[in-house]
Amino acid sequence: MTGRPIAMWPILRALFARELRLVLRGGHLLPVLAFVFICVMLMPFGLGPELSLLQRLAPGLLWVIMLMAVLLSLDRMFQADFEDGGLDQLLLLPIALEGAVIAKICAHFVGILLPVLAAIPLAGLLLNIHPDAVLPVLATLLAGAPALVMLGAIGAALAVGVRRAGLLTVLIVTPLYVPVLVFGAGGLARALAAPGMLDVGALGVLGLISMASLFLAPPAIAAALRAGLR
Amino acid sequence: MTGRPIAMWPILRALFARELRLVLRGGHLLPVLAFVFICVMLMPFGLGPELSLLQRLAPGLLWVIMLMAVLLSLDRMFQADFEDGGLDQLLLLPIALEGAVIAKICAHFVGILLPVLAAIPLAGLLLNIHPDAVLPVLATLLAGAPALVMLGAIGAALAVGVRRAGLLTVLIVTPLYVPVLVFGAGGLARALAAPGMLDVGALGVLGLISMASLFLAPPAIAAALRAGLR
Amino acid sequence: MVNTEYFSGAYADFSRAAMSGDALCLRADNLACVRGLRVVFADLNFAVAAGGILHVSGANGAGKTSLLRMICGLLAPAAGHISLSGNTALARQSHYLGHADGLKNTLTPRETMIYESRLMAAHEACAPEDLLAHIGLAKQADQRVGTLSAGQRRRLALSRLLAAPRPIWLMDEPYTALDTAGRDLVDTLMRCHAEAGGMVVLAAHEAVPLADAQLVLDA
Amino acid sequence: MVNTEYFSGAYADFSRAAMSGDALCLRADNLACVRGLRVVFADLNFAVAAGGILHVSGANGAGKTSLLRMICGLLAPAAGHISLSGNTALARQSHYLGHADGLKNTLTPRETMIYESRLMAAHEACAPEDLLAHIGLAKQADQRVGTLSAGQRRRLALSRLLAAPRPIWLMDEPYTALDTAGRDLVDTLMRCHAEAGGMVVLAAHEAVPLADAQLVLDA
Amino acid sequence: MLERLENLSALYANPRRFMNLAARVHTPLWLVAVGVLAFGLFMVSGVPDDYQQGATVRIMFVHVPAAWMALFAYSFIFFASLLAAVLRHPLGYLAARAAAPVGAVFTLVALVTGALWGQPMWGTWWVWDARLTSVLVLLFIYLGYIALWEAIDDYGRAARATSILAFVGFVNVPIVKFSVDWWNTLHQPASVSRFARPALHADFLYPLLVMGVAFLLLFLAITLTRLQMEVLRQRLRVRQSAG
Ligand code: HEM
Ligand SMILES: Nc1ncnc2c1ncn2[C@@H]1O[C@H](COP(=O)(O)OP(=O)(O)OP(=O)(O)O)[C@@H](O)[C@H]1O
Ligand SMILES: Nc1ncnc2c1ncn2[C@@H]1O[C@H](COP(=O)(O)OP(=O)(O)OP(=O)(O)O)[C@@H](O)[C@H]1O
Ligand SMILES: [Mg+2]
Ligand SMILES: [Mg+2]
């Protein structure tokens, strides 16, 4: 209407920058990291101090822990926007809501999940992980993380404005996580059985699931947010 | 001032009833229980479906799941009150803030964590737990739960309005969790190594920690909440 | 519009105090407020007698909200003190109606009222039906508070004042979001309260004809 | 007080449209609103021409907020439709200032403004210093938004209107929490916007002398 | 008031034609369903014991149709939501809502009978294989779907949100169906649906098929009844709030 074309890219970048700042100021990172290390610390008590058993289980445990960390951190991703009217403003932006959603998710990914990923090798060390296993674990986690995040965001968006949204999110999201976990931890286990090499098949499937969710989730999330407007 | 003495008990009961209703609104029971079973469901994928291995790990895993449920459910316990001005009204009640805090925590305990505790034996069944282990697991969880809840509530109170809350929570609350876990999951492991008998020592220590936190946490929580007023 | 009966029984206490001569008096001496690194106001003195309505005004950021919160103890004064006839712990003597209303979105107006009166240890619980009709929410009684319109929320928040009698009413911009009838409701409530021997301190940007004293804070 | 320069360059577009005769016109035809299970209003018709200021009034719960949200597409009409000179997708043509302000507590006013103008794809980013002084927040520029007073927050929210030119301004009780100077600021902003060829729909319970048309919703 | 609401909002349309049709179909449908079920049970009682499994083979006649219906009900929800979204007709949302608990119960029945069968056959109640787990996932998706309906009061919002979940969750249906082919599982692969050369003896096949039809009719009958109730409840709520 104002006649001049609007460039989408700078808007997305600005939104990403703002969300990243909000995430960092919100102090969400430390509790999530603390959660990871509490879990890791707890495991030897649960499993008994047998190092070889711990070593065997470490990769799978790291996957489960990562998954829960994602759940914990995404839980209220859109809730604040909903409550303070920020969601209304997102809808009035000169970009599609889908784009805004992607920018927000990227900010969460960079602000919370990348640091968690970076902490995974250290956590693995505490679990006495085999050095050869670190790379496959990281590779599968990296390949699977986008899917985890996107599916989690669908749940968070569906639960917007709902009481006790966090738990509802968990209920909605976790069943969707199972296939990712099957290929992630399962593929990992197979890769580690034949040490020294990555299970390219499982990695490929994980990547595919991630790619698919990168494309399919944003419209679902945007639709869920629109449905959540009051 | 109004001349008539005020009975504390009915007020505490009313607050408890209101909080319980807030907690239960929207059928939270289902999501919490679902959360537990979903965690249980994820474990075999992470650790492999070997039943004997699962059996060995089950007690520790159940502790981790309980911890997650506490963390998830208490996380934003005071946040809503802080944001909507409900915290101001709590301070103006004709009872001490410490009392109000206890009523709130009890409501969370009854509304969320008791159902989780009740679901633990069934969850254990799915993890193929040894029948002899069910009782010790429940006993340690029951003995440790008050401590977990109180510590979680301290974290939630610190997170309200206090800047750098994440850091504070990690620095203050995480170290406090460690002894609970050591005696809880650790004592459990020892108890199960000598089957058929409870590790009374660990149970006693857990109970002591719980008692101590029941007395020491409410003032700390109230102080944190007062500090968070704006 | 307001049924003054609500005030009769429960208010006997401080009406009697008012009549017997040792009337309540809210006073502030040399009060100062510091927020962040800024002195918002200092050396503030005022007194409100039983039955008095004090209108606090001033530019945005002048410290009206801070003052009201200080009176009921939600904010500690940087200097000076506040007392009600010598008593300095006023949290349980005051109703505070702030910018944030403390309503719970998942309850209904009816439930809100019932809990409110129990929490305030009202000696005789009022009938929520009457009170709901009174504040104009009869039709919305069982709708979730989260779906009320801004003015309807505000009206519901007002009902807290009637849950139990307390001598001091602190009202932060009480007219916000209310239509003409709603504003009249606020005025009537304040008038009844003052007549029963209570005192009101309200912050508002508009003129308040009802007030019998004005305190202007300058930023 | 308001520097009308903000409007000059950026507003050229729709001022020119206004002058060239094919002026913008916002119109609603047979609009109806259903919330929950209740018909809030139905068969609503109105039109606002370029430069027009429409004042929507009505009792609490009459549907003012719902109407404003419908105009910018945040709420789907139960029947009827809204268009701006034939165009029915108005989200990107409107600024909406609701009861909830969409401000982020952990940012500072300065940051808020900078992001706001980038997000709105302002063609020439305004200097935040000027704008801050303009809305009276120069002193609070680097304080956290969460610590602002109610009126200061409201002023900050107003700055969004100036982040980028959009023809339709939807203002829900814009005078809330503002002192006299703040109300003047709102009036000046609306007047400048209307003069530049924009249109304003505002909901308010008080009289709005500036408005050139009134729409009364009855509950 | 009711008229006004119905005219204004597609979401509150009063599906008169549907209700008339439903009133006529309702009783015959229930009668046929119960009749076929009785016939099926009669046939099952005549089935000889399996030479390997003994009498436990009879669990199959509940387990397999229940498992089929678990999948069918979710597909039903998916297509009903899709139709509602495309045609902007509320009946689809209501039908999906009505079918969800029914599907959840069938899923639960499949799980429980499967577990009961697993004890004698595999020596364990439960294993974490792909088929069993994907059915458990299906149950959780049902529960999440139901919980989401319950958690949102506003009917329109709930309808839109739950339909999105129905679409997303549909990916699990092929996983359940084909898990036995894609992964090496303890559970046996499809043996009935290979119609060209069914791997099942006719003694078992025909009773199973009759039971399948009976369960399908039962599902349709229960869902229809629930759907009628859903429409009536909606109407009642409108009446109450209007007056
Ligand atoms: C809790 C455990 C079990 C679950 C969740 C389960 C689930 C299922 C499902 C979803 C189907 C339908 C597959 C389709 O339509 O293609 C099915 C079919 C079947 N199940 Fe199970 N099952 C379980 C245990 C068992 C056991 C222990 C047996 C017997 C050893 C068994 C035997 C069968 C048979 C024979 C079929 C029919 C396959 C066909 O012809 O399509 N199931 N089951
Ligand atoms: N989900 C819902 N269920 C029932 N009623 C609802 C729902 N959401 C909104 N309402 C009702 O819709 C009506 C219109 O609300 P709206 O916020 O538009 O009013 P308003 O004119 O802005 O009022 P105010 O002056 O108080 O701000 C209100 O009566 C409100 O109670
Ligand atoms: N943590 C803080 N750091 C710095 N300044 C603060 C802080 N908290 C509050 N302030 C300032 O204190 C001042 C007083 O705020 P207060 O809310 O009391 O004002 P008010 O008179 O109620 O204003 P309004 O009319 O806008 O509601 C404001 O200028 C505010 O910016
Ligand atoms: Mg104020
Ligand atoms: Mg409104």
Is B53 touching E (CB cutoff 8 A)? no
What is the residue extent of each domain of chain A? 3-229
Is E233 touching D (CB cutoff 8 A)? no
Q: Strands across the sheet with C38-49, in order?
A: C38-49, C25-35, C79-84
Q: Strands across the sheet with D94-97, in order?
A: D94-97, D168-172, D199-203, D53-58, D213-217
Chains with at least 3 CB pairs less than 8 angstroms from chain E: A, B, C, D
E14 compared with C153, residue with greater pLDDT: C153
Nearest to E166 by CA among E105, E241, E77, E86: E77
CB contacts of D78 in chain E (<8 Å) are 8-9
In this predicted structure, the answer to whether residue C48 has a pLDDT above a threshold of 60 is yes
Chain C: give the shortest CA distance to residue A86, in Å: 17
**Percentage of chain B lying above the pLDDT 90 cut:** 18
In this predicted structure, the answer to whether residue B32 has a pLDDT above a threshold of 70 is no
Q: Which residues of E23-38 are buried (b: 16+ CB within 10 A; e: fewer)?
A: eeeeeebbeebeebbe
Is E144 touching B (CB cutoff 8 A)? yes
Mean pLDDT of chain C: 86
CB contacts of B184 in chain A (<8 Å) are 45
CB atoms A84 and D101 under 8 Å: yes
User: Which ligand gives the minimal distance to the CA of E158?
Assistant: 2
**Which residues contact ligand 1 via a Cβ below 6 A?**
E 60, 63-64, 67-68, 71, 110-111, 114-115, 117-118, 121-122, 131-132, 135, 176-177, 187-188, 190-193
CB atoms E133 and B128 under 8 Å: no
Single-letter residue type at E124:
T
**Coil, strand or helix at C31:** strand
How far apart are alpha carbons C204 and A216 in whole angstroms? 51
What's the C108 CA to ligand 2 centre distance in angstroms?
A: 14
CB atoms C105 and A163 under 8 Å: yes
Lowest mean pLDDT among A185-194, D112-121, E170-179: A185-194
Mean pLDDT of chain B: 80
CB atoms D36 and E8 under 8 Å: no
What average pLDDT values come out for chain E (243 residues) when binned by 10 residues? 63 74 92 95 83 76 94 97 87 93 97 89 77 89 91 84 92 85 70 56 84 96 94 80 61
Is D128 touching C (CB cutoff 8 A)? no
- Please determine, looking at this structure, whether the domain spanning D4-217 carries the CATH number 3.40.50.300: yes
CB contacts of D150 in chain C (<8 Å) are 60, 65, 99, 172-173
**What are the distances in angstroms from CA B143 to CA B208, C66, D95?**
9, 44, 56
pLDDT the model gives residue E195: 44
Residues 6+ apart with CB under 8 A from A169: A71, A74, A75, A152, A155, A156, A158, A159
Nearest to C108 by CA among E153, E1, B77, D65: E153
In this predicted structure, the answer to whether residue D11 has a pLDDT above a threshold of 60 is no
Q: For residue range A115-171, what is the model confidence (pLDDT) as tens digits?
A: 999 999 899 888 888 888 888 888 889 999 999 999 999 998 998 877 666 667 878
How far apart are alpha carbons E83 and E90 in whole angstroms? 9
User: Which ligand gives the minimal distance to the CA of D99?
Assistant: 5
Lowest mean pLDDT among A190-194, D95-99, E25-29, E106-110: A190-194
Residues 123-162 of E with CB under 8 A from C: 153-154
What value does the mean pLDDT take over residues C135-145? 90
Q: Are strands C25-35 and C79-84 parallel, antiparallel or unpaired?
A: antiparallel
Query: For residue D64, which atom of ligand 2 is closest to its CA?
Result: 21
Residues 6+ apart with CB under 8 A from E56: E50, E117, E120, E121
Which chain A residue lies closest to C104 (C-alpha atoms)? A163
What value does the mean pLDDT take over residues B11-15? 93
- What are residue C54's DSSP bridge partners? C201, C213
In this predicted structure, the answer to whether residue B167 has a pLDDT above a threshold of 70 is no
Q: Which residues of E137-153 are buried (b: 16+ CB within 10 A; e: fewer)?
A: bbbbbbbbbbbbbebbb
- To test the ligand 1 pocket, which listed residue (E52, E57, E60, E63) has its Cβ within 8 A of the most ligand atoms? E63
Q: For residue range D158-216, what is the model confidence (pLDDT) as tens digits?
A: 999 988 889 999 999 999 999 999 999 999 999 999 998 899 999 999 999 999 999 99
pLDDT the model gives residue B78: 86
Is E30 touching A (CB cutoff 8 A)? no
Which chain C residue lies closest to D174 (C-alpha atoms)? C177
Residues 6+ apart with CB under 8 A from B198: B135, B136, B139, B191
How far apart are alpha carbons A177 and B178 in whole angstroms? 29
Lowest mean pLDDT among D9-18, D105-114, D122-131, E164-173: D9-18
Chain A: give the shortest CA distance to residue B4, in Å: 38
Q: For residue range A51-109, what is the model confidence (pLDDT) as tens digits?
A: 777 788 888 888 888 888 888 788 778 888 888 899 999 999 999 999 999 999 999 99
- What are residue A194's DSSP bridge partners? none
pLDDT the model gives residue E194: 47
pLDDT the model gives residue E182: 72
Chains with at least 3 CB pairs less than 8 angstroms from chain C: A, B, D, E
pLDDT the model gives residue D8: 47
- Predicted structure pTM score: 0.86
pLDDT the model gives residue A20: 95
CB atoms C179 and D59 under 8 Å: yes
How far apart are alpha carbons B170 and E127 in whole angstroms? 38
Which chain A residue lies closest to D170 (C-alpha atoms)? A92
- For ligand 2, atom 4, the nearest C-alpha belongs to D36
> What's the ipTM?
0.84
How far apart are alpha carbons D143 and D110 in whole angstroms? 9
B147 compared with B7, residue with greater pLDDT: B147
A30 compared with D72, residue with greater pLDDT: D72
What value does the mean pLDDT take over residues B169-193? 73
Which chain B residue lies closest to E126 (C-alpha atoms)? B126
- What are residue C170's DSSP bridge partners? C96, C201
E54 compared with B212, residue with greater pLDDT: B212
- What are residue D49's DSSP bridge partners? D25
Helical segments of A127-199, H only: 131-158, 165-193
How far apart are alpha carbons B55 and C218 in whole angstroms? 71
What's the E230 CA to ligand 2 centre distance in angstroms?
A: 25
Is D140 touching C (CB cutoff 8 A)? yes
How far apart are alpha carbons B180 and B152 in whole angstroms? 12
Q: For residue range B114-123, what is the model confidence (pLDDT) as tens digits?
A: 888 888 888 8
Residues 6+ apart with CB under 8 A from C188: C1, C2
Is B44 touching E (CB cutoff 8 A)? yes
For residue B1, name the pLDDT band (cuts at 50, 70, 90).
very low
DSSP sequence for B88-142: HHHHTSSS-HHHHHHHHHHHHIIIIIHHHHHHHHHHHHHTT--HHHHHHHHHHHH
Is C105 touching D (CB cutoff 8 A)? no
